[in-house]
Amino acid sequence: MTEKKVSFADLQALRKQLNEYAYQYYVLDQPSISDSQYDQLYRQLELIEMEHPEWISPDSPTQRVGDQMLTGFQKVRHAQPLYSLGNAFNEQDMADFVNRILNQVQGPVSFICECKIDGLSVALTYEEGQFVRGATRGNGQEGEDVTSNLRTIKALPLRLRRPVSVEVRGECYMPKSSFLALNEQREADGLPVLANPRNAAAGGLRQLDPKASAQRNLNLFLYGAVVSESFHPHSQEELFRELEAVGLRTNPLRRECHNLAEIMAYIEEINEKRHDLPYEIDGVVVKVNDFALQEQLGFTVKAPRWAIAYKFLAQVEETQVLDVEWTVGRTGVVTPTAVMQPVQLAGTVVKRASLHNVDYVKSLDLRIGDWVTIHKAGDIIPEVTSVLTERRAEETKTLAIPQHCPECQAPLVQEEGQVAIRCENPLCPAQQLAQISHFASRAAMNIVGLGPQIIKGLLEQDLIHNVADLYDLTSQDLMKVDKIKEKSAQKLIQAIEASKKNPLDYLLFGLGIRHVGAKAARLLAQRFGSMEALAQASLDEMASVEGIGLTISQSLRMFFDRADSQELLQRLAQQGLTMTSESMGEKIESKDNQWYGKTVVLTGTMEHYTRSQAKQILENLGANVTGSVSAKTDVLIAGSEAGSKLSKAQALGIQIMDEAQFLSSLSDKTVDDEKESERSDE
């Protein structure tokens, strides 16, 4: 039987299917297929385009990240100016704005209030539905052409759902979680940390290598457009509906208000929620809803008269530094942390704040006893921002920078061009503790019950020195550690043994190789199929994997070329750990379970699994896990602190399960197998 010849029509249908799945996932947050199913279809498209390169077009999902380095950024003239906004800082400012509007127009006026995303303004041009150009705001009249980098944003459709020609405006931003992960990686690599998500997003859009831009994991919300013949809404609210209808992502946290009281109520509500949002905002934008009224009100030289930005006050507090602690991470980087008088900041009590690195400490001229200002970078990480030198006591002395590792006393090294100081002793107990703790963590090998305190005890008893030593432990060894009794020791041995069955990418991530996160480990395992093949791969072969690049490849090559790494991998293989990817993504094929074919939504915080783990378990049982509740939802599984999804499910009469009921619905075998084979990438 011959294989069916693929036609251009088949290619177009496959592209359309993949674009629809991407729209459901990135724009609607309602995925209808699993990641593995999407990856299989994507691979089919890649193979077809390899066979028929003449069929490749700019709107293909495979063309998001270009292979060509940029040499610079061309200037782009905007179809209409991108104006800045006037600011309001209190209720009186907002009252003045509303009254000014009411005094200039006849009849009632409604306003659209929306979150002011703290990112980078962009203009996207579509011609007959196809994305052709993207530019930064620049000076408002012209910006820089960053089309190649914007194409890497998966929420940005390369082709709209209707063939409209329009220039749309929005805000490109970096999610808080991505910003946190980026700075953690930069600190580990001895690079300067970025000040906030906005700077990180701006830097991401101005990368000359689109692959580097893609690694910033940027996203965007659209909120404006230049009206055209094929795209002509009559109000701000209608504009949002039209943007959504053609497949563009908008922020759902918006509200139509009719007076000052309603506007201020919305502002207060958003201000309370801002620290819980997955992105950073710095205020609320208020616009006259009706476009005819907007045109009537017009513009000043700098800003529209029909819109204003209400700016939230910066979350900054003052406190006193009591001490500076120097801690050693798993890559040997020594990081300073300020220990302070407790202070309330952005909803939490803060006692410690990041000082990032030696150069940052020196630039502050920080001393013990100094009064400082602190804030939360990206509403996440407490950090010291300035020293109040006018409050400094005369007897304070310049802070001593350590010359030796605070744990093992080995000399510290600061590599040329880097800001980090690093301990290069591979036997440093702090590095061993951090490395083994990472290996055993839930996101890596998920050795349940093996936490940092137990690992520290094993190191102090000289029972382990690296991760391979874990697999030689006995119950008697574990019982030498304080507070571990026979039953606990047996459970730990079982957990260590069970971890041998974890897929290759879990092991690769758990090894703690610099720059190799969970996603990179998964891509590498899928591409090379075994630890041996990856270890023998060339730099070019590694770097050719989409999403990997030269930096990760160089780090991998250095790891595999070291004699101690080769010895470690040989021991792990002899101890029976999974060194090939055959077991990756193993599915439960049986349809004989209550979840098969059901549409399920997860909400709230779960204790036994992360939501990512629970999602994968359900998908392996044949369920369709979506991101929002609708009349098509069969079951809502609600963890603690469930919010609006729970309320909506109750209103629709949908079956609701708590976590205990969900766990009891799974067989013991399913729970045991899936808990060991699925993990979160967070």
Return d(Cα 65, Cα 209) in angstroms, integer. 9
584 has pLDDT over 70? no
537 has pLDDT over 50? yes
Burial class, 17, CB count within 10 angstroms (exposed 0-12 / middle 13-18 / buried 19+):
middle
Give mean pLDDT, residues 44-68. 79
Return d(Cα 158, Cα 16) in angstroms, integer. 11
Which pLDDT band, with edges at 50, 70 and 90, does 581 fall under?
Answer: confident
Structure tokens at 508: 């690769």
- Which comes out higher in pLDDT, residue 651 or 342? 342
Closest CA to 675 of 445, 457, 463, 485: 445
- Sign for the CA dihedral angle at 269, 274, 279, 281 comes to positive
The answer to whether 113 and 285 have CB atoms below 8 angstroms apart is yes
CB atoms within 10 A of CB 176: 19
Phi–psi pair at 77, nearest 5 degrees: -85, 125
CA 553 centroid distance within chain: 22
Q: Is 116 a catalytic residue?
A: yes
Which pLDDT band, with edges at 50, 70 and 90, does 33 fall under?
Answer: confident
The topology under which CATH files domain 316-402 is: OB fold (Dihydrolipoamide Acetyltransferase, E2P) (2.40.50)
Instruction: Look at residue 378 in the predicted model and tell me its pLDDT.
Output: 55
- Which comes out higher in pLDDT, residue 648 or 325? 325
Strand, coil or helix: 452: helix
**Which residues are CB-contacts of 445 (< 8 A; sequence separation ≥ 6)?**
439, 499, 502, 506, 507, 510
CB atoms within 10 A of CB 237: 17
Which pLDDT band, with edges at 50, 70 and 90, does 301 fall under?
Answer: low
Match domain 599-677 to its CATH number in 3.40.50.720, 3.40.50.10190, 1.10.730.10, 3.40.50.410: 3.40.50.10190
Which pairing describes strands 142-144 and 635-638: parallel, antiparallel, or unpaired? unpaired
Give mean pLDDT, residues 168-183. 90
Rounded (to 5) percent helix, strand, coil in the chain:
40, 20, 40
**Which residues are CB-contacts of 624 (< 8 A; sequence separation ≥ 6)?**
32, 597, 598, 599, 600
Burial class, 67, CB count within 10 angstroms (exposed 0-12 / middle 13-18 / buried 19+):
exposed
Token pair 């809803």: residue:
289
Instruction: Look at residue 140 in the predicted model and tell me its pLDDT.
Output: 84
**Which residues are CB-contacts of 40 (< 8 A; sequence separation ≥ 6)?**
none
The torsion region of residue 332 among left (phi > 0), alpha (psi -120 to 50) and beta comes to left
Return d(Cα 164, Cα 230) in angstroms, integer. 5
Percent of the chain residues past pLDDT 90, beyond the cut: 44
Instruction: Look at residue 379 in the predicted model and tell me its pLDDT.
Output: 57
Which pLDDT band, with edges at 50, 70 and 90, does 80 fall under?
Answer: confident
- pLDDT tens column, 551-568: 889 999 999 999 999 999
Give mean pLDDT, residues 299-325. 88
Give mean pLDDT, residues 315-324. 91
The answer to whether 386 and 317 have CB atoms below 8 angstroms apart is no
Return d(Cα 88, Cα 86) in angstroms, integer. 7
**Which residues are CB-contacts of 555 (< 8 A; sequence separation ≥ 6)?**
513, 514, 515, 516
Instruction: Look at residue 585 in the predicted model and tell me its pLDDT.
Output: 38
Instruction: Look at residue 290 in the predicted model and tell me its pLDDT.
Output: 95
Give mean pLDDT, residues 293-305. 87
Least confidently predicted of 161-165, 497-501, 538-542, 622-626: 622-626
417 has pLDDT over 80? no
Instruction: Look at residue 608 in the predicted model and tell me its pLDDT.
Output: 66
Burial letters 119-146, b for 16+ CB under 10 A, else e: bbbbbbbbeebbbebbbbbbeeebbbbb
Return d(Cα 359, Cα 418) in angstroms, integer. 10
Return d(Cα 603, Cα 588) in angstroms, integer. 24
- Which comes out higher in pLDDT, residue 22 or 267? 267
Q: Mean of the per-residue pLDDT values for the chain?
A: 85
Domains of the chain, by residue range, sit at: 8-63, 86-182+189-311, 316-402, 429-574, 599-677
Instruction: Look at residue 67 in the predicted model and tell me its pLDDT.
Output: 52
> What is the per-residue DSSP string for 325-382?
EEEE-TTSEEEEEEEEEEEEETTEEEEEEE--SHHHHHHHT--TT-EEEEEEETTTEE
Which pLDDT band, with edges at 50, 70 and 90, does 389 fall under?
Answer: very high
Under CATH, which architecture does the 429-574 domain have? Orthogonal Bundle (1.10)
The answer to whether 576 and 624 have CB atoms below 8 angstroms apart is no
671 has pLDDT over 50? no
Instruction: Name the CA dihedral angle for 156, 157, 160, 165, rounded to a multiple of 10 degrees.
Output: 50
CATH superfamily to which 8-63 belongs: Helix hairpin bin (1.10.287.610)
Closest CA to 38 of 22, 56, 62: 22
Instruction: Look at residue 675 in the predicted model and tell me its pLDDT.
Output: 35
- Which comes out higher in pLDDT, residue 559 or 674? 559
Instruction: Look at residue 69 in the predicted model and tell me its pLDDT.
Output: 52
Return d(Cα 602, Cα 604) in angstroms, integer. 7
Which pLDDT band, with edges at 50, 70 and 90, does 680 fall under?
Answer: very low
Give mean pLDDT, residues 129-143. 89
**Which residues are CB-contacts of 368 (< 8 A; sequence separation ≥ 6)?**
321, 322, 323, 324, 396, 397, 399
Amino acid at residue number 663: L
What is the number of alpha carbons within 13 Å of residue 496 lying toward its C-beta?
23
Least confidently predicted of 68-77, 128-137, 345-354: 68-77
Instruction: Look at residue 1 in the predicted model and tell me its pLDDT.
Output: 39
Give mean pLDDT, residues 652-678. 62
CB atoms within 10 A of CB 54: 7
CA distances from 103 to 88, 107, 259, 596 (A): 18, 10, 13, 61
599-677 shares the fold of 8-63: no
Least confidently predicted of 79-88, 256-265, 415-424, 437-446: 415-424
Catalytic residue, chosen from 116, 176, 376, 615, is 116
Match domain 86-182+189-311 to its CATH number in 3.40.50.720, 3.30.470.30, 3.30.465.10, 3.40.50.1580: 3.30.470.30
Burial class, 463, CB count within 10 angstroms (exposed 0-12 / middle 13-18 / buried 19+):
middle
Which pLDDT band, with edges at 50, 70 and 90, does 679 fall under?
Answer: very low
668 has pLDDT over 70? no
Return d(Cα 242, Cα 225) in angstroms, integer. 10
Q: What is the pTM of this model?
A: 0.56
Instruction: Look at residue 672 in the predicted model and tell me its pLDDT.
Output: 38
Give mean pLDDT, residues 642-666. 82
Which pLDDT band, with edges at 50, 70 and 90, does 457 fall under?
Answer: very high
Which pLDDT band, with edges at 50, 70 and 90, does 380 fall under?
Answer: low
